[in-house]
Amino acid sequence: MATNKAIVLVEKGKAEIRELPLPKLEEGHILVKVHAVGVNPTDWKSVHGAEPSRFGSRLGCDFAGEVVEVGPGLTKNIKKGDRSAGFVFGASVHAPDNGAFGEYVAVQEHAQLKPPSSVTYEEAATFGVSVTTVGQGLYKTLQLPLPNNPVATPFPVLIYGGSTATGIYGIKYAKLSGLTVIATASPHNFDHLRSLGADHVFDYKSPTVGADIRALTGNKLKHAWDCTGFGASICAAALSDSEEGGRPKYATIIPVKREIFDAENPVVDGPHFTLGYDVFGVPYPRLGKQFVPDPSEVEYATMFWQTTQGLLESGKLIPLKPEVNRLGKGLEGVLTGLDELKNDRVSGTKLVYTL
């Protein structure tokens, strides 16, 4: 049986490289020879906060590579030799033999795209988690106008955590939607975020940042997306405290207590919490509970990845420029990159490793 090297979750706090069989190619999947992978916070959190049921599963969510085999039941026109990049369920109980951090990965067709030739594999390896999470948070939850159908009259949106990889993509998409983008970050990232399209950038450590954003928007900010899960209080203070024109809405990527909004800004609609893993349509354990995805998540992700394909082909969406092979390359480099993320040493970029 053919084998490949992959990173496996061995026990809580420990992952290692092992030689394993190729992942199974199920219906509606493609097999991809991986050329580059992106490292995300969810990856190191899977190592250090994993439930025992996930021990032995393969890690990694973001990949880019070449299709080497196609499974039965595909609905998209995908063939051997095509380029592919997207999102897979790393550290999964449902498919423990599959993950992006390996020489081969099995991919569901709806959560991937064909990167145009103008996009490198390294750039394409930044799409997975970020594209999925932007689609869920900014668009499905906050119901902002899609980037292929921008508004004629801009209105503001706050992206808290603008210098994260997902925040950077949020800025890019929101600008394509025709919005006025307000972001928070550390001051050393201000110029970078402005160069990407942010109209206003605020220091998230400022004691008056929420009030300052509310003043800038004339108390009319109705949409806030928190890419970190730690900005609820600031977003509450920045969002409008008026229900005129509808309640302001807050979306985030980790669970947040409603009490924060009750104390700061009770009119806020939220917190609305999304997890990228919902787009695979299978129940899964996370955060000490069992999540059962809404079936609409698969349908929406399918649409949003197709939309992103068009944005890339037209040149409207410019990929994030990653930092490639920091402190090493290959799967050994990935293990180092996980530690870099865990120790908060990554800002304003995304770590990508070539295989």
Q: What confidence tens digit (pLDDT) does each residue in 11-39 have?
A: 999 999 999 999 999 999 999 999 999 99
| Domain ranges across the chain | 3-127+279-354, 131-274
| Same fold flag, 3-127+279-354 and 131-274 | no
Q: What confidence tens digit (pLDDT) does each residue in 183-208 have?
A: 999 999 999 999 999 999 999 999 99
Q: How many Å apart are CA 33 and CA 67, to the nearest integer?
A: 6
Pair type for strands 156-160 and 83-87:
unpaired
Main-chain dihedrals φ then ψ at residue 190, nearest 5 degrees: -55, -55
Give SS3 for 51.
coil
Residue 1 pLDDT grade (very low, low, confident, very high; cuts 50, 70, 90): low
Which residue in the block uniquely carries the two structure tokens 């410019």? 318
Q: What confidence tens digit (pLDDT) does each residue in 104-133 have?
A: 999 999 999 999 999 999 999 999 999 999
Q: What confidence tens digit (pLDDT) does each residue in 314-348 have?
A: 999 999 999 999 999 999 999 999 999 999 999 99
| Burial tier of 345 (Cβ tally within 10 Å: 0-12, 13-18, 19+) | exposed
Q: What confidence tens digit (pLDDT) does each residue in 258-284 have?
A: 999 999 999 999 999 999 999 999 999
The reported pLDDT for the residue numbered 288 is 80
The reported pLDDT for the residue numbered 52 is 82
Q: Which CATH architecture has domain 3-127+279-354?
A: Alpha-Beta Complex (3.90)
Main-chain dihedrals φ then ψ at residue 320, nearest 5 degrees: -60, 140
Q: For the residues 195-224, what does the mean pLDDT come to? A: 98
Q: What confidence tens digit (pLDDT) does each residue in 159-173 have?
A: 999 999 999 999 999
The reported pLDDT for the residue numbered 193 is 98
Q: How many Å apart are CA 145 and CA 336, to the nearest integer?
A: 39
Q: How many Å apart are CA 300 and CA 164, to the nearest integer?
A: 23
The reported pLDDT for the residue numbered 53 is 81
H/E segment holding residue 29? strand 29-38
Residue 169 structure tokens: 């993509």
Encode burial over 45-81: b for 16+ CB neighbours within 10 A, e otherwise: bbbeebeeebebbbbbbbbbbebeebbeeeebebeee
Average pLDDT value over all residues in the chain? 96
- Supply the pTM of this predicted model: 0.96
CATH 3.90.79.10 fits 131-274, yes or no: no
| Burial tier of 27 (Cβ tally within 10 Å: 0-12, 13-18, 19+) | exposed
pLDDT above 90 covers a percentage of the chain that reads 94
